[in-house]
Amino acid sequence: MEPHPDAPGPGSKLPQHYEQCFGCGDEVDAGLHIRSAVGDGMVVHSTFTVTEAHQGAPGLAHGGLLACAFDEALGSTVGNLLRRPAVTGKLETDFRRPVPVGSTLHIAAKLDGVAGRKIYASAEGRLDADDGPVAVRARGLFVSVDFTHFTTHGDVNALEKFRAARKARPEKDWDINP
């Protein structure tokens, strides 16, 4: 499997994909503020720093928010490397170690394969370093959709704002107004 010819190359920092995304958006104060960059092959590297806003038990990250971080990191491989709109159909997480407030998860997510509309990806999150202890593993199944998925089910006004913001970006983007 190869990245899409227009995919950003290894080392490219990836911009937030939507300002109000809970995973990566700058406009969501308590969001995860995940930052990502393209790795080699079909890999995207992401970091998520756990703050007090992300707690489940005192001092520890909420498992649901960790799952959110992996949804974002896995989805980023699909959106950026395949440049296909897709939504999460299934997300599995294995929580192997507690993730304390103040720690940073280093997530390496990779595309594993495509079968028709189904796109498989997996990821590992390590504590505080790329070679730190594994805290979380995840696997996702994404399903390719066309943009009518978002116009039919989403907020058309917000989608228009999103489209305009992406159009203003210098890098080549998907045709999101087919």
Ligand X SMILES: CCCCCCCCCCCC(=O)SCCNC(=O)CCNC(=O)[C@H](O)C(C)(C)COP(=O)(O)OP(=O)(O)OC[C@H]1O[C@@H](n2cnc3c(N)ncnc32)[C@H](O)[C@@H]1OP(=O)(O)O
- Closest to ligand X by CB, 27 vs 52, is 27
Q: From CA 156, how far away is CA 166, in angstroms rounded?
A: 15
Among 52, 94, 113, 117, binds ligand X (CB under 6 A): 117
Residue 72's φ and ψ, nearest 5 degrees, are -65, -50
Cβ-proximal residues to 132 (8 Å cutoff; 6+ apart), any chain: 106, 126
Find, among 13, 97, 1, the residue nearest to 41 by Cα.
1
Contact status: 3 vs ligand X (CB under 6 A): no
> Is 145 one of the binding residues for ligand X (CB under 6 A)?
yes
User: What six digits make up the tokens of 43?
Assistant: 């890999």
| Contact call for residue 8 and ligand X (CB under 6 A) | no
Distance of CA 28 to the CA centre of its chain: 15
Nearer to ligand X, 97 or 118 (CB): 118
Residue from 71, 93, 125, 127 touching ligand X (CB under 6 A): that is 71
In the annotation, is 71 catalytic? yes
Q: With CB under 6 A as the rule, give the number of residues binding ligand X.
A: 17
Catalytic residue among 40, 71, 112, 175: 71
Residue type, 118: K
Segment contacting ligand X (CB under 6 A): 37-45, 57-65, 83-91, 103-111? 83-91
Binding mask 84-113 for ligand X (x = CB under 6 A): ---xxxx-----------------------
Q: Are 29 and 175 in contact (CB under 8 A)?
A: no
What is the spatial distance between Cα 28 and Cα 16, in angstroms, rounded to a whole number? 12
By the rule CB under 6 A, 118 interacts with ligand X: yes
103 in Cβ contact with 129 (< 8 Å): no
| Residues in contact with ligand X by the rule CB under 6 A | 17, 71-72, 75-76, 79-80, 87-90, 116-118, 141, 143, 145
- Give the residue numbers annotated as catalytic, written as ranges: 71
